[in-house]
Chains A and B, each alone.
Chain A
Amino acid sequence: GAVVSQHPSRVICKSGTSVKIECRSLDFQATTMFWYRQFPKKSLMLMATSNEGSKATYEQGVEKDKFLINHASLTLSTLTVTSAHPEDSSFYICSARVARPTWDYGYTFGSGTRLTVV
């Protein structure tokens, strides 16, 4: 149980365009979702936290106008990278908090999206 589906797994886009990444909780309700960015051979950096039906909370230094997060339902959160530039190229990973967490499934991660901006 507690599966998070993230799409697409890879995307290449042109500089200046926008890209949307979807994160779905398949078999549970996710009251809170997290978006991370991971650089090669580095740890996960939290970008923002979203709660269903409310505005996302962004970490310091993360541009909220560039990285738009929407958490419209208990099973879907999206990250839109607007006006993408090559420096936005990275591995983006979502995570969902189970509404009634157990110690085994408190936070489940998606499989990640490799974004390449050319």
Chain B
Amino acid sequence: QQQVKQSPQSLIVQKGGISIINCAYENTAFDYFPWYQQFPGKGPALLIAIRPDVSEKKEGRFTISFNKSAKQFSLHIMDSQPGDSATYFCAAREFTQGGSEKLVFGKGTKLTVNP
């Protein structure tokens, strides 16, 4: 069962355009929602994260919109640049019954920004 559903699988945007990636979840116990950027052969790098009591967070060209009632959150990349071409993962944190924590990842979105 996929706990965090991410779409689209791939996305092509023109330079200067807006890239939008969506994620949906079912577990209302998730309490932290980060987005990661990963380049080929590298580890994921945190882009931006949000708590469920906040509806929107903006950092530079990156914005997370969070809809708690719909259990959805999205990443918006404004003025997309070719250097933004990478794979993006949404994630959500849960605490297990044993008290440990873990991030649950979406399947990823490969973003290509054409010059």
**A43 B44 Cβ-Cβ under 8 A:** no
Among B43, B101, B108, which residue has the most Cβ atoms of chain A within 10 A? B43
Contacts of B101 in A (CB 8 A): 32, 49, 97
Query: What is the bound-complex CA distance between A107 and B49, given in angstroms?
Result: 11
**B103 A112 Cβ-Cβ under 8 A:** no
The SS class assigned to the A binding surface is strand
**What are the interface flags for A67-100 relative to B under an 8 Å C-beta threshold, 1 for contact and 0 otherwise?**
0000000000000000000000001010101000
User: Any chain B CB within 8 A of the CB of A65?
Assistant: no
**B45 A44 Cβ-Cβ under 8 A:** no
**A103 B49 Cβ-Cβ under 8 A:** yes
User: Any chain A CB within 8 A of the CB of B73?
Assistant: no
Closest-by-CB residue of B relative to A49 is: B100
Q: A104-B49, A107-B34 are in contact. Are A112 and B102 (CB under 8 A)?
A: no
**A111 B43 Cβ-Cβ under 8 A:** yes
Measured CB to CB, the residues of A under 8 A from B are 4, 6, 32, 34, 41-44, 46, 49, 57, 91, 93, 95, 97, 103-112, 114
